Amino acid sequence: MKVSLSILTADFANMESSLHDALEITDYVHMDIMDGEFVPNISIGPAFVKAIRKITDKPFDTHLMIMHPQNYIKQFVDAGSQYITFHVEADCDIKKTIDLIKSYGVKAGISIKPKTKVEDILEYLPLVDMVLVMSVEPGFGGQSFMMDSIDKVKALKELKEKNNYSYLINIDGGIKDSTAPLISPYVDLAVSGSYVCNAENPKERIDILHNL
Ligand SMILES: O=C(CO)[C@H](O)[C@H](O)COP(=O)(O)O
């Protein structure tokens, strides 16, 4: 299982020194973008994402937890994102937003909140490069993993194999040593934030997730 390191709970003032070794071995860097409307929190914007691009060349897996993703795609492409994922619950035309992301030559992902079912995104599965299952209510790092997300990634893997779809299966929220083995048979990558960033040795935590 690959790891996408969420920097949401990192020490923003000392990102380079505190996460240097972890950034060396992570597979992706997960950017949590929150607008205070789609979720009850505000996080970082394109300028911050662009600044992080200076300290790592790892692919950016940018997660838009925003109500109107269609208005901000280009800014996050220009900031250095390789994957841009938005929510099916957002206020936008889903297919047009997928096309817009792809029109900039980056990969498009769709995400579902805990109360949204896999059945609700079936029509988009042939179109996307990534499906991101939220295993916590989006908005804050450090929450507990929701067990019913296991059935969702399992279903997505079955659908992918049955239909020969090409999307990566990703999961986000509460991923650590005790929860990763529950989902690792079904996902291609998993987002981990506080488990890595709040550790004394963040690199060691990514090693643990890689080797589970
Ligand atoms: O999208 C998020 C919150 O909305 C975060 O990416 C996610 O919660 C990761 O943090 P942690 O590993 O601490 O749960």
SS3 85: strand
Query: Where in the sequence is the domain holding 126, given as residue range(s)?
Result: 2-211
Place of tokens 């994922």: 85
Taking the CB of residue 155, how many other CB atoms lie within 10 A of it? 16
Q: What is the pLDDT of residues 76-120, one digit of tens each?
A: 999 999 999 999 999 999 999 999 999 999 999 999 999 999 999
Tell me, what's the pLDDT at 193? 98
Residue 131 bridge partners (DSSP): 110, 169
Residue 33 near residue 43, CB atoms below 8 Å: yes
Tell me, what's the pLDDT at 47? 98
Tell me, what's the pLDDT at 164? 98
Residue 49 near residue 31, CB atoms below 8 Å: yes
Residue 149 tokens, joined: 């997300």
**Assembly ipTM:** 0.96
DSSP 8-state class, residue 123: G
Residue 77 near residue 45, CB atoms below 8 Å: no
**How many domains is the chain built from?**
1
Place of tokens 């909140």: 113
Query: Quick one: pLDDT band at residue 75, thresholds 50, 70, 90?
Result: very high
| Catalytic (active site) residue 120 | no
Cα separation, 74 vs 49, whole angstroms: 13
Average model confidence (pLDDT) across the chain? 97
Domain of 29, CATH number, reads 3.20.20.70
What is the pTM for the complete model shown?
0.97
Ligand 1-lining residues (CB < 6 angstroms)? 6, 8-9, 30, 32, 63, 136, 138-143, 172-175, 191-195
Cα separations in angstroms, 5 against 25, 50, 96, 179: 10, 16, 28, 16
Cα separations in angstroms, 19 against 14, 92, 96, 133: 8, 35, 36, 25
Q: Look at the chain and count its residues.
A: 212
Tell me, what's the pLDDT at 14? 92
Residue 156 tokens, joined: 């997505």
Tell me, what's the pLDDT at 120? 98
| Catalytic (active site) residue 172 | yes
Question: Mutate which of 111, 136, 178, 205 to test ligand 1's pocket (most atoms within 8 Å of Cβ)?
Answer: 136
Cα separations in angstroms, 160 against 109, 113, 119, 186: 14, 20, 13, 10
Q: What are phi and psi of 154, to 5 degrees?
A: -65, -45
- Give the residue-averaged pLDDT of 193-198: 97
Q: What is the whole-number distance in angstroms between the Cα of residue 21 and the centre of ligand 1?
A: 20
Give Cα 110 to chain centroid, integer Å: 10
